[in-house]
C-alpha cells in the first residue's frame, strides 16, 4: 500500500515538474520573440504561447482534466461564452464609423 502511494506521489510530482519546466521554456520563448521583429507574427506567436501556457495551468495546476464531467462542461461553456463576447467586441469595433477626433482649440 505504501509503495502505491509513493508511485502516485512520484507520478504527480513528475507532472508538476514537467509543467513547471514547460512554463519556463514558454516564458523564455515569449521573451525571445519579443526581441525578434516578426511584424504581425509577434502578435500571433504571443497569443499562441499564452494559449499554451493557459492550457497547461488549467489542465495541470487547476486539475480540470481530473474533474467530473459537469465541471468540465461548465468550464467549456464559460470559454465559449468568453469567445462569443470577444467576437461581439470585434464586430462592434469593425463596424464603427471612423470619424476623426474633434479638435478643441485654445480659444484664440
Taking the C-alpha atoms of residue 62 and residue 58, their distance in angstroms, rounded to an integer, is: 5
Q: What is the domain count for the chain?
A: 2
Considering the chain, what percentage of its residues have pLDDT values greater than 70? 97
> Residue 50, SS3?
helix
Query: Taking residues 87-100, what's their average pLDDT?
Result: 91
Dmax over CA atoms of the chain, in Å, equals 88
Say yes or no: 54 and 85 in one domain. no
30-57 per-position pLDDT tens digit: 999 999 998 989 999 999 999 999 999 9
Segments forming the whole domain that contains residue 52: 2-62
Q: Is the pLDDT of residue 107 over 80?
A: no
In a domain, 22, yes or no: yes
Positive or negative, the CA dihedral 57, 80, 86, 52 is positive
| All residues at 6 or more sequence positions from 8 whose CB lies less than 8 Å from its CB, including other chains | none
Q: Is residue 104 part of a domain?
A: no
Quick one: what percent of the chain has pLDDT higher than 90? Answer: 64
Give the pLDDT mean for 2-20: 89
**Is residue 107 in a domain?**
no
Do 34 and 80 share a domain, yes or no? no
Amino acid at each position: 500500500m505504501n509503495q502505491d502511494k509513493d508511485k502516485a506521489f512520484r507520478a504527480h510530482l513528475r507532472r508538476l515538474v514537467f509543467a513547471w519546466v514547460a512554463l519556463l521554456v514558454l516564458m523564455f520563448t515569449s521573451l525571445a520573440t519579443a526581441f525578434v521583429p516578426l511584424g504581425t507574427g509577434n502578435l500571433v506567436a504571443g497569443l499562441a504561447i499564452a494559449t499554451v501556457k493557459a492550457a497547461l495551468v488549467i489542465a495541470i495546476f487547476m486539475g480540470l482534466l481530473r474533474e467530473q464531467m459537469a465541471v468540465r462542461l461548465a468550464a467549456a461553456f464559460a470559454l465559449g461564452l468568453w469567445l462569443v463576447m470577444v467576437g461581439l467586441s470585434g464586430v462592434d469595433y469593425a463596424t464603427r464609423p471612423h470619424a476623426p477626433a474633434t479638435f478643441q482649440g485654445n480659444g484664440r
